[in-house]
Structure 1
């Protein structure tokens, strides 16, 4: 079992312990480390050194930069610390009430393209060792981005094509519909991009960290839990700024200063996204567990303590 997964197993048993780990690995300073520094950081705890400050930095650098299945360094733009700086402007601009369809499609395309890349780079790839990315996977990723782009722009398309001027209907399309739509499309992106995990299975481990085989049931659970966490992230990010604006509009100060609503919308969206990223990452353990009775029959004998472990991915 990879040292990153062992650390999650030992230190990430509760939600709050996982949250603490996620806050460390989301440190943007980790993005400025070179590949050599990342490999040296892994060597610190692999060699058994116990200097606490170096040890904590090594864990954060390793877990934020190295893929737990392949051991390869993750491309810098798709590492967890890069998620907020890159996705925040994309999320803010994709949720804006655009005047036309083309800007809505453009920002939706960028958002879902980046989301697909992040989901793919941080997937469970334990069943893909020695395999190149298949044409089927490329088509699935491209199809999911295309579909999510068009679906995400539905509110703007409806307003423009039908010429809707009714204020209540516009409020529904611009403020209410994007909430479930954002959550559903975020989950959809994960399901499609990581569909091979459900079809091919993922590597499972016993309680001692030994590999015992490949399980499709564990792969399905890994994808399902990650999709739910991503839906929580995007749904909450879309919902809370709208609720805040609704409350502020009722105050006398903002009724006299409506121009302040736009910067508050942008700032609150980015702030909530930043707060929800570590929360969503912590909802489910990175080293997930699956009960003995839920895995394939040929793997049940290996679950001596009633469960097996698997890498969920981000």
Structure 2
């Protein structure tokens, strides 16, 4: 088992401990480190028998930039610290009240493409050692992005194609419908991009960190948990600003100064997204557990303490 996973096993089994760790890992400063520095930090931690204060930077660099299955540095734009700086403007732009369908499709395409790339780069790839991305995976990525892009632009498509002029209906389509839609599409994006994990299985480990085999049940659980966490992230980011705007529009300040609504919406979307990223990443353990009765028959004997461990991915 990789040192990153061992650390999550020891330190990341409660929500608050995971949240504390992620708040440190999401520091964008780590993006300035080169691949050589990242690999050096990862190697240092593998050789260290006991961590000390001087190893703190190496630990953060390893956890935030190294894939726990391959041991290789993640692509720069798909590392967790890059998630907020890149996704924030895309999320804000995708939630804008567009005047036509084309800009809605454009920003949805950028957001969903980045999300699919992030989901694929941070998947569990334990069963894909030395395996290049297949044509099937590329087609699945392209199909997922195409579908969720069109689905994400549905509110604007309804407004334009149906010629909606009613203010209450427009408010519903622009403010209410995107809440469940964003959550559902975020779930679907993860679920389809990482579907191979449930089909082929992922590595599972015993309590000592020893590999015991491949489990499709663990793969399904890992994908489901990650998809739920991403649905919470985007659903909450869509819900809170929209509800705040609807409430504040009733106040005298916003009734007298309607131009304040747009910047308030943009700022609140970015703030809620920034707060929800570490929260959603912390909802489920990075090193998840699956009970003995839920794994395949051939793996039950290895679960001597009643459960097995697996890398959830991100």
Q: TM-score range by the shorter chain?
A: over 0.9
Asked if the contact 2:183–2:232 (Cα under 8 Å) also holds between the matched residues in 1, the reply is yes
> Under a length normalisation based on structure 2, what TM-score does the superposition of the two structures give?
0.98
Query: Match of 2:82, SS?
Result: helix
Asked if the contact 2:64–2:81 (Cα under 8 Å) also holds between the matched residues in 1, the reply is yes
Query: Match of 1:128, SS?
Result: coil
Asked if the contact 2:42–2:66 (Cα under 8 Å) also holds between the matched residues in 1, the reply is no
Query: Match of 1:309, SS?
Result: strand
Query: Match of 2:204, SS?
Result: strand
- Specify the alignment match of 1:148 in structure 2: 148
In 2, distance between residues paired with 1:103 and 1:269? 19
- Specify the alignment match of 1:14 in structure 2: 14
In 2, distance between residues paired with 1:274 and 1:133? 31
In 2, distance between residues paired with 1:96 and 1:254? 18
Taking a change above 3 Å as real, the CA distance of residues 295 and 79 of structure 1, as seen in their structure-2 partners, is same
* 1:169 Cα deviation from its structure 2 partner: 0.7
- Specify the alignment match of 1:41 in structure 2: 41
In 1, distance between residues paired with 2:47 and 2:193? 36
Report whether the alignment pairs 1:60 with 2:60. yes
* 1:226 Cα deviation from its structure 2 partner: 0.2
- Specify the alignment match of 1:124 in structure 2: 124
* 1:154 Cα deviation from its structure 2 partner: 0.3
- Specify the alignment match of 1:287 in structure 2: 287
* 1:43 Cα deviation from its structure 2 partner: 3.0
In 2, distance between residues paired with 1:75 and 1:190? 18
In 2, distance between residues paired with 1:115 and 1:101? 21
- Deviations for 1:112-147, whole angstroms, at most 9, x for unmatched residues? 000000000000000111222111111111000000
Asked if the contact 1:49–1:55 (Cα under 8 Å) also holds between the matched residues in 2, the reply is no
Q: In structure 1, list runs of 5 or more residues that go unmatched.
A: none
> Under a length normalisation based on structure 1, what TM-score does the superposition of the two structures give?
0.98
In 2, distance between residues paired with 1:275 and 1:181? 20
* 1:306 Cα deviation from its structure 2 partner: 0.3
- Specify the alignment match of 2:192 in structure 1: 192
- Specify the alignment match of 1:217 in structure 2: 217
* 1:50 Cα deviation from its structure 2 partner: 5.3
In 2, distance between residues paired with 1:120 and 1:46? 25
Taking a change above 3 Å as real, the CA distance of residues 229 and 51 of structure 1, as seen in their structure-2 partners, is closer
Taking a change above 3 Å as real, the CA distance of residues 219 and 51 of structure 1, as seen in their structure-2 partners, is closer
Q: In structure 2, list runs of 5 or more residues that go unmatched.
A: none
Aligned residues: 314
Asked if the contact 1:226–1:312 (Cα under 8 Å) also holds between the matched residues in 2, the reply is yes
- Deviations for 1:225-277, whole angstroms, at most 9, x for unmatched residues? 00000000000000000111112111111111110111111010001000000
- Specify the alignment match of 1:165 in structure 2: 165
In 2, distance between residues paired with 1:296 and 1:175? 44
Asked if the contact 1:241–1:265 (Cα under 8 Å) also holds between the matched residues in 2, the reply is yes
Alpha-carbon RMSD:
1.0
In 2, distance between residues paired with 1:188 and 1:51? 39
In 1, distance between residues paired with 2:13 and 2:49? 23
In 1, distance between residues paired with 2:118 and 2:304? 35
Report whether the alignment pairs 1:73 with 2:73. yes
